[in-house]
Amino acid sequence: MKPEMDAAVMRVIEGTQFVLGPEVAAFEERFASYCNVKHCHAVSSGTSALHLALLAAGVGPGDEVITVSMTFVATTAAILYSGAKPVYVDVDPVTWTMNPALIEAGITPRTKAILPVHLHGLMADMDPIMEIARRHNLVVIEDAAQAHGAEYKGRRAGSIGDLGCFSFYPGKNLGAYGEGGAVVSNNAEFAKRVSLLRDWGQESKYNHVAHGYNYRMDGIQGAVLKVKMDYIEAWTEARRSVASTYDHLLDKHRCKRPAPPAHSRHVYHVYAVMLEQRDEVQKVLQAAGIGTGIHYPVPVHLQKAYADLGYRAGDLPVTEQLANQFLSLPIYAELRPAQVSEVVAELEKLFLVAAA
Ligand SMILES: Cc1ncc(COP(=O)(O)O)c(C=O)c1O
C-alpha cells in the first residue's frame, strides 16, 4: 500500500486541509456505503463517537443507559461523559454479547437508551434488542468499535440501531495511522446533531448554536482510511479464514469459544477461547514466542475507577467467568495456516499435560 498511502498523505499536506476536508468527506461516503447507512460522520476516536451518539440521541444527566460490562472501558466512560448512568446486564454464555432476556429487568422510568457491544467482531442479538427498545421507546446505539463489516441476518454493524459507533484505533480491523472514529445513522436528525457537535456546535463559521466539542477527524486519517477501504473486505475474509482454521483444529478439544449464530458474519477482531488455566497457558505460549492477549481481564463493573457505580463481584456471573478464562489467540489477515497450526500444537501439548 506504500505508494497509495504516500500519495494520499501528500495530497493532504499539499492541500493543507489538515482537519476534516475532502479526504475525510470521501472516506465518510465510502464508509456509509460499506455500512449500508445514509449518514457517516468521521470523528476523533471511537470514544468521541459514542459520546456524540449519546448526546445526539438526547441522553443526559439523570438518564440511565443499559449496556454491558464485558467491553473496553470506553463504552462506560462515554455514558458517564454524557451525564447518564450505565446499568449493566450480563452477557449471553454462548455469544458473549448482551443477553436480551435480561434487559427488561434493568429498565426503569429513567432508562433512555440501550447500548449493546459487538464484542470481538460478533454482533449482539439485535432483533430482540430492537423489539424491546421500540416497546419501551428507547434509543439503540451500537458499539461497533470492534465490528467493521460484521453482519446480523444480512445487515451490517451500525445499520440496525438508531446510531452506530466505530473506532479506527490502529489495532482495529480498519485502523487509522493514529486515533479515529465514526458515527453512522439512517436518522437524518441524529446525524445532523453529530455533525454539529463534533465541530464546536458551529452551524456556520463562528456561529455556535450548541455546546460542542473538538471531535473532528484529521485530514490525514481520512486519507489513510479511504485507501484502506479498498482492502477491508479482503482483510476481513482473511481473518475469517484464520478463524476457521483455528475452529477446525480446536473442534476436537474441549476448548470453549463463542458460537456465532448461522445468520451472523463474525469479523474476528479478536479470536478468543476460554481456558480454565488461562494464566498458565498464556505464560507457556509466551515462552514459545506466541503472543496472546486478554480482552478483557477485569470487567468494567469491577474496575476501581467505576466502583462508585455500586456493583460487586458476583453481580454479573457470566461476564466475570469470561474475564477469568478468556485468552485471545493471534489473529490478523497475514497469519498463515502453518502459523495457526503452530499455535494450536502448543495448546495441544498443554491439553495433553492437563489431561494426564
Ligand atoms: C468496544 C469498544 N468501544 C469503544 C472503544 C473506544 O474506541 P477508541 O479507542 O477509538 O476511543 C473501543 C476501542 O478501544 C472498543 O473496543
Q: What is the pLDDT of residues 145-166, one digit of tens each?
A: 999 999 999 999 999 999 999 9
State in Å: Cα 143 to ligand 1 middle. Answer: 8
Q: How confident is the model at residue 356 (pLDDT cuts 50, 70, 90)?
A: very low
Q: pLDDT tens for residues 296-338?
A: 999 999 999 999 999 999 999 999 999 999 999 999 999 999 9
Report how far residue 123's alpha carbon sits from residue 148's, in angstroms, rounded to the nearest whole number: 10
Q: Which of 65, 118, 167 to mutate to test the pocket of ligand 1 (most atoms within 8 A of CB)?
A: 167
Q: Which of 51, 146, 268, 328 to mutate to test the pocket of ligand 1 (most atoms within 8 A of CB)?
A: 146
State in Å: Cα 291 to ligand 1 middle. Answer: 21
Q: Name the residue with cell 486519507.
A: 223
State in Å: Cα 202 to ligand 1 middle. Answer: 26
State in Å: Cα 46 to ligand 1 middle. Answer: 5
**What's residue 351's pLDDT?**
75
What residues are in contact with ligand 1 under a 6 Å CB criterion? 45-47, 71-72, 74-75, 117, 143, 145-146, 167, 169, 179, 181
**What's residue 255's pLDDT?**
80
Q: pLDDT tens for residues 220-261?
A: 999 999 999 999 999 999 999 999 999 999 988 878 888 899
Atom of ligand 1 nearest to the CA of 168: 10
